[in-house]
Amino acid sequence: MTDRQPSLSIIIPSRNEADYIKATLTQFENLLEPHNLEIIVSDANSTDGTAEIVQSYAKRYPGRISLVQKEGKQNIAIGRNFGASHAKGDILFHTDADVRIPNPDQFFPKVLRAFEKPKVVAVATPLWVYPEESGLADRLFHIFMNGTILLSYLVGLYLSKGECQIVRKSVFDEIGGYGEHLVAGEDCNLFYRLHKVGRIKYLASLKVLHSPRRFRQIGYLRLSLIYLREGIWMALGRRSYVKEWKVVR
């Protein structure tokens, strides 16, 4: 009897991400078959050509890259859940349209090894800014943020960031996915509910990278307070304070 390698579905919500989505998809091109990946871009009525870019990749990699589109009003939780509802993989990798993965040939095997333990229901990693765009403020903030998240695991809060939430699909479906009533904090709320049914593993040796665009536009101090408040509030199973999450491009 041979062990089957778990399949992995990468779920990317998008809304006018034409400036980033091409690079995000390109990084996975040579990994689709070797790592048994599929990519699902869940698009929220983009008007900047995002959907057309994704369709061009879907034509080149049928069955491996696909575009799904949901009509009507959406938030990030609805977009992530809609993408996940089309996923065939055993493991769901929820991420964002601007995320890069350094050394993906090492990243995916380490992630899948974590799920070899049946009690592990989810995995998270540290998050950093693209090196070429990273300044002192970026590094200091992310040191603080990653340290806070790591500390939260030690005290049982299980904070997390939606740029990298890797979840066993059967458990994701069992708990109902992301809370679609939440405008923000859906990522921490998901992990709060997941830790009640299994173990969450934080792989500190890995990392994902993202754009600093939101920090640049909103400001580190303000965003730090929002993230900290929302993260702790959601980790305690409460509703979000945020009524509307500003789209940043």
pLDDT in tens, 189-242: 999 999 999 999 999 999 999 998 877 777 777 776 776 676 666 555 555 544
> For residue 118, is pLDDT > 90?
yes
Q: In this predicted model, what pLDDT tens digit does every residue of 81-94 receive, in sequence order? A: 999 999 999 999 99
Per domain, the residue ranges of the chain are 8-235
Q: Which of 47-56, 124-133, 238-247 has the lowest mean pLDDT?
A: 238-247
Angle of the 220-235 helix axis to the 186-194 helix axis, nearest 10: 30
Provide the token pair at 83. 């993408």
- Strands 37-43 and 8-14 come out as parallel
CA dihedral sign, ordered 130, 132, 136, 137: negative
Under 8 Å between Cβ of 208 and 99: yes
Which amino acid makes up residue 113?
R
Give the whole-angstrom CA distance, residue 147 versus residue 154: 11
Higher pLDDT, 137 or 55: 55
Res. 245 pLDDT band, cuts 50 70 90 = very low
> For residue 157, is pLDDT > 90?
no
CA dihedral sign, ordered 81, 87, 91, 95: negative
Residue 186's SS3 state is helix
Question: By C-alpha distance, which of 197, 209, 156, 189 is closest to 81?
Answer: 189
> For residue 184, is pLDDT > 60?
yes
Under 8 Å between Cβ of 232 and 120: no
pLDDT at 58: 98
pTM: 0.89
Instruction: End-to-end CA distance of the chain: give it in Å, rounded.
Output: 50
How far CA 247 is from CA of 18, 151, 195, in Å, comes to 14, 29, 29
Q: Which fold has domain 8-235?
A: Spore Coat Polysaccharide Biosynthesis Protein SpsA; Chain A (3.90.550)
Residue 239's SS3 state is coil
